[in-house]
Amino acid sequence: MADGVVLLDTYFSMFGMRARLALAEKGIEYEYKEENLGDKSPVLLEMNPVHKKIPVLIHNGKPICESLIIVQYIDEVWKDNSPLLPSDPYQKAQARFWADFVDKKVYDAGTRMWTTKGDELETAKKDFIEALKLLEAELGEKPYFGGENFGFVDVALITYSSWFFTYETCGNFSVEEHCPKLMEWVKRCMKKESVSKSLADPKKIYDFVLFLKKKRGFE
Amino acid sequence: MEKNNKNNKENVKVVGFWVSPFVHRVRWALKMKGIKKYEYIEEDIYNKSSLLSEINPVYGKVPVLVHNGKPLSESSIILEYIDQVWNDDFAPPLLPRDPYQRAQTRFWAKFADQKVLESAWMVLCSEGEKQERAVKEATEALEKLEEKLKSGNSIFFGGDTIGYLDLMIGFVSYLYPVWEEVASVKILDALKFPALVAWQSNFLNHELIAGEYLPPRAEAVAYFRWRRSELIPVYNRMY
């Protein structure tokens, strides 16, 4: 193991998947610990006392929290292989901007799609598609958001693709229909081993969401 | 002799709004790097110009930094950009160089916005039971910040001098008391938060800040009184 790397995570979390993906991209061996969020481990509570959330990366005994902060940390420490962020300051800032956009706009709308119904659900769907369209425009004709190479924004967004099936089923729509170029990008990313092995199975995610919906009375 | 002579040849513009804490962060960061000659454009955010939709098409918000014609938005991202571009003997680093320390700094900056600022804003824009709940959350957020400051064993979040985290938390020094006054609550008091209260005046009085760019208190109070009256009914419907 590279200097003691541990990841506290849950299988279904698109945030946790980002950490897994960054570690895979860099070829870093680590210990994976699946957390039960209904019964959080003492390690998790000790390592993330502020938010008590996953993912938490523990490197040489020291915790790093928040998925995009973890990915940047991984990129800065293991800087000699597969750089995720560009070195040019302006391009780096743009990459951070779009990763932040994913969290601000895609996450919120996506969550609303499986936790609401009726008019609220329709609004969530509209917001979700709008956000994806902006991202699709930003991608343009590039193979990846990072240009020729898989980069930071690719890591930030691709993990959400494992949740697309859930969103599409709850919202009764197709991402491909609205954003065909984005779906091409998803397929391109999924060909990478680091991506396919880091993302959770979309059907399993959907089953999990159905379970959550029942449990929380969202039907 | 003027610091950073080469930087004065570069074209820097900041688009802002007089009372926005996000804008103040950017102006302080530029000042810390010795960048004083830039065009500041005051935007009326309630009557947005076409410039803003041009340089920030995604959000249409301030601040926007335009450097050599290229626009950047989101204050935390702008600050990291400023830190990267201007770093030489005359420009002190805003963020630590060590990756672990950087990760911690970024974590607490995010906490400051998502928990400290958000909860204080909710206190400002609510009343009754909703406000009581918001006060509780705001208190909890400040407690964590107080602990963080104490554990660092230094007067600033950045150590012996001001850094990125102090700039990001800067709003606590001058806006927080304004919002408390408008909302008729007192959360950040010296008994419960001795380190933070000391930090407030150390930050405002620091030679690099010296209260610069800050709105006159009476005007800020009037502005936020208006925002509170506008937003209470809106948030009542939403939350």
User: What DSSP string runs through A125-144?
Assistant: HHHHHHHHHHHHHHHTT-SB
CB contact A134 to B (< 8 Å): yes
Over pLDDT 70: what percentage of chain B? 96
Average pLDDT, integer, range A3-20: 96
Which of A34, A39, A28 has its CA nearest to residue A16? A34
CB contact under 8 A, A93 and B77: yes
Identify the pLDDT of residue B176: 97
B114 touches chain A (CB under 8 A): no
Find out whether A129 and A173 touch, Cβ atoms under 8 Å: yes
According to the model, what pLDDT value does residue B91 have?
Answer: 84
Q: Are A71 and A18 in contact (CB under 8 A)?
A: yes
Amino acid in position B198: A
- Cα dist from A77 to A38, A208, B160, B184, whole Å: 32, 34, 26, 47
**Is residue B46 classed exposed, middle or buried when 0-12, 13-18 and 19+ CB atoms within 10 A define those classes?**
exposed
pLDDT of B225 > 80? The answer is yes
Of A73, A90, A92, the CB nearest to B70: A90
Decide if A90 and B78 are in contact by the 8 Å CB cutoff.
Answer: no
Mean pLDDT within B146-158:
95
pTM of the model: 0.95
Strands A5-9 and A31-34 come out as parallel
User: Which pLDDT belongs to residue B9?
Assistant: 52
Q: Is the pLDDT of residue B90 over 80?
A: no
Convert chain B into a string of H (helix), E (strand) and C (coil): CCCCHHHHHCCEEEEECCCCHHHHHHHHHHHHCCCCCCEEEECCCCCCCHHHHHHCCCCCCCCEEEECCEEEECHHHHHHHHHHHCCCCCCCCCCCCCHHHHHHHHHHHHHHHHHHHHHHHHHHCCCHHHHHHHHHHHHHHHHHHHHHHHHCCCCECCECCCCHHHHHHCHHHHHHHHHHHHHCCCCCCCCCCHHHHHHHHHHHHCCCCCCCCCCCHHHHHHHHHHHHHHHHHHHHHHC
Instruction: Check CB contact of B73 with chain A, cutoff 8 Å.
Output: yes
Chains A–B, number of C-beta pairs less than 8 Å apart: 54
Q: CA distances (Å), B194 to each of A49, B77, B108, B155, B185, in order?
A: 22, 30, 19, 11, 18
More confident residue, B8 or B208: B208
- Which tokens hold the place of B183? 């909302």
Q: CB distance from A65 to chain B under 8 Å?
A: yes
* Average predicted confidence (pLDDT) for chain B: 94
Q: What is the pLDDT of residues B14-23, one digit of tens each?
A: 999 999 999 9
Gap between the Cα atoms of B8 and A217, Å rounded: 60
Chain B CA closest to residue A99: B77
Confidence (pLDDT) at A218: 67
d(CA B151, CA B165): 15
Chain segment B44-59, per-residue pLDDT in tens: 999 999 999 999 999 9
Q: Say whether pLDDT at B4 is over 80.
A: no
The 10s digit of each residue's pLDDT in B120-141 is 999 999 999 999 999 999 999 9
- Output the pLDDT for position A216: 83
Q: Which residue of A has its CA nearest to B112?
A: A50
Are the C-beta atoms of A16 and A57 separated by less than 8 Å? no
ipTM of this complex: 0.95
In chain A, what residues touch B58 (CB-CB under 8 Å)? 101, 134
- Strand order through the sheet with A31-34: A31-34, A5-9, A56-59, A62-65
A2 pLDDT band (50/70/90 cuts)?
low
